[in-house]
Amino acid sequence: MAESPKFWLDRVSYVYEDGVQALRGVSLHIYSHQITAIFGPAGGGKSTLLRLLNRLNDLTPGRRLEGRVLLDGEDIYAPGVDVHALRRRVGMVFATPVPLPMSIRQNLTYGPEMAGVRQRARLDELVERSLQAAALWDEVKDRLDEPGIALSGGQQQRLCLARTLALEPDVILLDEPTSGLDPISTAKVEASLQDLKQRYTIVIVPHSVQQAARVADHAVFMLQGELIEEGPGGSLFTHPRNRRTEDYVTGRFG
Amino acid sequence: MSRKLRQQLGFTLLSLSTIVVVLPILLLVGYILVQGAPAISWEFVTGLPRDGMRAGGVWPAVVGTLLLTLGTAIFAVPVGVAVAIYLAEYARDTFFTRLIRLAIINLAGVPSVVYGLFGLGLFVIFLRFGTSILAGSLTLAIMTLPVIISTSEEALRTVPQSFRIVSLSLGTTQWQTIRRVILPQALPGVLTGIILGLERAAGETAPILFTVAAFFLPRLPSSIFDQTMALPYHLFVISTQVPGMPVRIQYGTALVLLTFVLSMNVLAAVTRSRFRRKRQW
């Protein structure tokens, strides 16, 4: 691909305070306008990798990071980087939907307002646009002032997706975003992702191999902190090159 | 003995224990109510004491206690809540913060008369505030701090960690997260702690004994450097220091103090339940 990568992980290793090595020399390119799925068994370092990308791992004390993480060619761990701006640029959706204890509308305007957006019209526009993009607008447009927690589980997760979109990010990180959802809600979220990748860079840790196979344009298999194999979604699942990838994809372990 | 019988015996003992706890409170409140009610009138609450306190009302003491509670709140609430926020949200687990926690726990255990003596030494004499509302409020505030700090910290810690992570992931600063998400959720617990702390301050005698309380001062204070009467100390005085004191007035005063303190208790309970119903987690 001639295009330069959105994210470039350059020999990244990561050790937690208790000595657990979560990542071992991972090098990876993540490109815009496609869905990169990072999959593998639990404890493989998928979530750690995701949280490195928006520096949410800063919240865990005693980390040790080696290597470089570049976003559009800039080291996001360089001194002087505005972490808050970075997190708005690299939004995140979590496994469990957590609406903040406020109304649906406030959930969406909270991030932009804290970043300094004050104009009412601009905020209203963000609310509608992000809910549309998360395929939730029709269901909640008449109840924007109800608490976010009043929504169903699937709606809550789409609200969380919309909340991230309201930040107008470059990149969207999703950490097992459908693990608590029923198949219909899951399908809705997956469908939104296909639309969203036209405009964003999407990195997802899927909650199953099947989901990885469904959504991935580019798939990355991780095992015990190592990147075992990566490749286009189509071929990685049908013709894995590495023995361990094949064993995992075919369900021999995991 | 059959298992069923043993179970019944257990339940009986447990409910008896509960009654043992409730009974003294009911007896105490009931006794004060019956003995004190005849003394209560508009004149009693809003009148000045006369005839060496053997007649008249308790108004200066009521006002004094209100002012001291207010003064305590002004000093103790901002500092207490700030310390709680620091300990719950910012402080790492270091030797220094453990020392602070230890200090707070020990502060809570210091007898109130020792606070009185400390207030006398520091505020009345060393800082030259004199025997005054200012000195009394500061003394009561120091006594109240541990209660406010520990209950507020507890309330902050009960707010789910996921709210913090989600809020920070939206690019907010830690202070924005605390101010906009964490503190509003912890507010009922914080308010309860504040009210319970102030309630204790309102009812204490020893800390105000040497720092502010006047034995007999049948007028209202005009500045924070004035002495004032206060309900707990007034009750102590008329119960032990004045010969020929009508019992009616003693119990009437006790009833006024009790009503004041208990209504703060009710306020705390109402605050808590009102917010809890609105809570979304």
φ/ψ of residue A118, rounded to 5: -120, -25
Neighbours of B118 (CB within 10 A): 17
Q: Is A131 within the bounds of a domain?
A: no
Per the CB < 8 A criterion, the answer to whether A126 and A210 are in contact is: no
Average pLDDT, chain A: 92
Q: Is A104 within the bounds of a domain?
A: no
Is the predicted pLDDT of residue A2 greater than 60, yes or no? Answer: no
Which amino acid, residue B270? V
pLDDT at res. B194: 94
Contacts of A114 in chain B (CB under 8 A): 170-173, 176, 180
Determine the Cα–Cα distance for residues A139 and A38; give it in Å rounded to an integer: 31
How far from chain centre, in Å, is Cα B70? 11
Q: Is A222 within the bounds of a domain?
A: yes
pLDDT at res. A3: 75
Is the predicted pLDDT of residue A234 greater than 90, yes or no? Answer: no
Q: How many residues does chain B have?
A: 281
Instruction: Say what the pTM is.
Output: 0.86
Q: Which residues contact B89 (CB under 8 A, 6 or more apart)?
A: B156, B174, B178, B182
Which is higher by pLDDT, A223 or A19? A223
Determine the Cα–Cα distance for residues A126 and A114; give it in Å rounded to an integer: 14
Determine the Cα–Cα distance for residues B203 and A175; give it in Å rounded to an integer: 54
Contacts of B166 in chain A (CB under 8 A): 94, 98, 100, 160
What ipTM does the predicted assembly reach? 0.91
Q: Is A145 within the bounds of a domain?
A: no
Q: Is A220 within the bounds of a domain?
A: yes
Q: How many residues does chain A have?
A: 254
CB atoms A101 and B167 under 8 Å: no
Q: Is A63 within the bounds of a domain?
A: yes
Residue A179's pLDDT band (boundaries 50, 70, 90)?
Answer: confident
Closest CA to B209 of B102, B89, B111: B111
pLDDT by position in tens, chain B (length 281):
788 999 999 999 999 999 999 999 999 999 999 999 998 998 899 989 888 888 888 999 999 999 999 999 999 999 999 999 999 999 888 899 999 999 998 988 999 999 999 999 999 999 999 999 999 999 999 999 999 999 999 999 999 999 999 999 999 999 999 999 999 999 999 999 999 899 999 999 999 999 998 888 888 888 899 999 999 999 999 998 888 888 889 999 999 999 999 999 898 888 888 877 766 56
Q: Is A157 within the bounds of a domain?
A: yes
In Å, what is the CA distance from B263 to each residue of B232, B252, B258? 16, 16, 8
User: For chain B, which domains are there?
Assistant: 57-278 (1.10.3720.10)
Mean pLDDT of A48-71: 90
pLDDT at res. A251: 84
Number of compact structural domains in chain A: 1
Q: For residue A27, give its domain range.
A: 7-98+152-249
Mean pLDDT of A159-179: 94
Residue A23's pLDDT band (boundaries 50, 70, 90)?
Answer: very high
pLDDT at res. A50: 95
pLDDT at res. B280: 57
CB atoms B171 and A96 under 8 Å: no
Q: Which residues contact A179 (CB under 8 A, 6 or more apart)?
A: A95, A96, A207
Q: Is A122 within the bounds of a domain?
A: no
Q: Nearest Cβ partner of B172 from A84, A149, A164?
A: A84
Strand blocks (E) in chain A: 7-15, 21-30, 35-39, 64-71, 74-75, 90-93, 171-175, 201-205, 218-223, 226-232
What's the CATH number where A235 sits? 3.40.50.300
Is the predicted pLDDT of residue A126 greater than 70, yes or no? Answer: yes
Q: Write the DSSP symbol of residue B48.
A: P
Using an 8 Å CB-CB cutoff, list residues of chain B that contact chain A.
Answer: 92, 160, 162-163, 165-173, 176, 180-181, 184-185, 279-281
Helix A153-165 and helix A183-196: axis angle, to 10°?
20
Minimum Cα–Cα distance from B161: chain A residue = A98
Mean pLDDT of A223-234: 91
pLDDT at res. B269: 87
- Name B217's bridge partners: none
Determine the straight-line distance between the first and last CA of chain A, rounded to whole angstroms. Answer: 32
Per the CB < 8 A criterion, the answer to whether A57 and A87 are in contact is: no
pLDDT at res. B281: 60
Contacts of B181 in chain A (CB under 8 A): 100-101
In Å, what is the CA distance from B214 to each residue of B44, B129, B131, B176? 19, 15, 9, 46
